[in-house]
Amino acid sequence: MALVFAARWVLKHKLAKVWRTAEFVVARTAYSGYAAGAVVGANLALPSPADVGWSTYGNIRHAMVILMIASLTALGISLAYAVTDLILARLSLSNGDADRKARRLQTQVRLLRRVITSVIVVLAVSSILFTFPQVQALGAGLLASAGIIGIVAGVAAQSTLGNLFAGLQLAFSDALRLGDVVVVEGEWGRIEELSLVNVTIKIWDERRLVVPVANFTTTSFENWTKQGTAITAKVMMPLDWEVPIAELREEAGRLITSSDHWDGRSWSCQVVDITENGEVMVRIVATAADTGAQWNISCEIREHLIGWLVAHYPQSLPRNRTEVISEDELGAAHLGRFAVVSSRERGSRNGVTRTDRETDRESEEG
């Protein structure tokens, strides 16, 4: 134990100044280092068979072998994590939204070390089990029927293996990275963790959406940062026919070009549709550097133009028109319609063919 303490002190206070990995080794081996040191010291202090007897000595030695395998496995995993922590720390320095290569490497390193750790743990558990004579005898029979056991194990672990390979496929095909902005099942958020089984998405309102890894290889999802972080903000405004389009476009342009959230690429203000309710649909778009700026400039455009229209052109706000018709006007309208129908019937009897437009024009002139 004294040697372990001395080694940690040297790593922390001496080597850490010239070897950055040393600080990660000290942090990761806080428990596994002392455990391995204690087990090694206990092995060196084992009593002789003459002192305790062969039976007791065999049990103690068997227990120490198991502890040795477990402690050295934990120490090895801790050292491997310390090395990868150094790599991840260097990647995180440039791990902004725009640095897609750094985020891809970070995702791959995290996933690979989980895979390697799982393999090491399985091998360590297998080694511990095979220290028992009963398991050794069983192992010989299992090896003879390895093909059947492999098929049964493959069927039983189909879901787990599917998630494992799906995670590796996502990481190394660059389809998904830590920090990517995605839309999954109607929820917008960032990839917070990519494990061998699940993908954890941090939703914008601090919730966490946990999705099986295999879902990302079998269903479609939106990745807003797949090729970069640049994105376009869109604001749709249903307005009245009396909206002054030229003035609205000028005001929108003045706002967007002076906004800190606009990236300077492009913007537009256009009438794109007329709804069934008789409203003019105006679309204002502006480019932004990332999703945060896109959200902010969208809200900024919406809030400013609503206030500007209320203050200067309140008649432009969406409204429903209702026309009030008096009884006299309603009766005249019915009489006019009856006259049109009678005119059509007379023309049909006299063998004259007229279009509806000609008949309507005659009715209006009459």
pLDDT tens per residue, range 314-329: 999 988 767 677 666 6
User: Which tokens in the block code for residue 157?
Assistant: 């672990």
Instruction: Check residues 75 and 98 and name the one with the higher pLDDT.
Output: 75
Element of type H or E holding 281:
strand 280-288
The pLDDT value given to residue 343: 46
Query: Over pLDDT 70: what percentage of the chain?
Result: 69
Does residue 307 have a pLDDT over 60? Answer: yes
231 and 285 Cβ atoms separated by less than 8 Å: no
Per cent of the chain over pLDDT 90 is 23
Please state the rounded mean pLDDT for residues 345-359. Answer: 44
Q: Per DSSP, what are the bridge partners of residue 194? A: 199
Contact partners, residue 147, CB within 8 Å, separation at least 6: none
At 345 the pLDDT is 45
For 139, the token pair is 């192992």
- State residue 229's pLDDT score: 82
Place of tokens 């206990």: 42
- Residues with Cβ within 8 Å of 278's Cβ and at least 6 positions away in sequence, in order, are 241, 321
**Residue 198 to residue 214: CA distance in whole angstroms:** 8
Q: Is the pLDDT of residue 14 over 90?
A: no
Q: Whole-prediction pTM value?
A: 0.54
Average pLDDT (227-245) is 91
Question: Given this model, what pLDDT does residue 257 score?
Answer: 94
Position 296 pLDDT exceeds 90: yes
The two structure tokens encoding residue 154: 């493959």
Question: What mean pLDDT do residues 66-83 have?
Answer: 85
- Residue 209's nearest CA partner among 198, 195, 217, 219 is 198
Model confidence at 239: pLDDT above 70 = yes
Confidence of residue 283 (pLDDT cuts 50, 70, 90): very high
Nearest CA to 305 out of 261, 263, 269, 262 is that of: 269
Computed from CA positions of residues 12, 15, 18, 20, in that sequence, does the dihedral angle turn out positive or negative? Answer: negative
Quote the pLDDT of residue 76. 85
Mean pLDDT of 210-239: 87
Range from 56-70, 101-115, 171-185, 298-312 carrying the lowest mean pLDDT: 101-115
User: What is the spatial order of strands in the sheet that 181-184 belongs to?
Assistant: 208-212, 198-203, 187-194, 181-184, 222-223
Burial of 353 (0-12, 13-18, 19+ CB in 10 A): exposed
How much is the pLDDT for 77? 86
Say if residue 351's pLDDT is above 70.
Answer: no
pLDDT at 79 over 90: no
| Model pLDDT for residues 140-196, shown as the tens digit of each residue | 554 444 454 455 455 545 556 666 677 777 777 777 888 888 999 888 999 888 877
pLDDT at 354: 44
- In the block, tokens 């929108």 appear at 252
pLDDT attached to residue 58: 77
pLDDT score recorded for residue 356: 46
Cβ–Cβ < 8 Å for 25, 82: yes
**Which own/partner pairs from 85-94 qualify as long-range (CB within 8 Å, at least 24 positions apart)?**
85/24, 85/27, 85/28, 86/20, 86/21, 86/24, 89/24
16-20, 55-59, 64-68: which has the highest mean pLDDT? 64-68
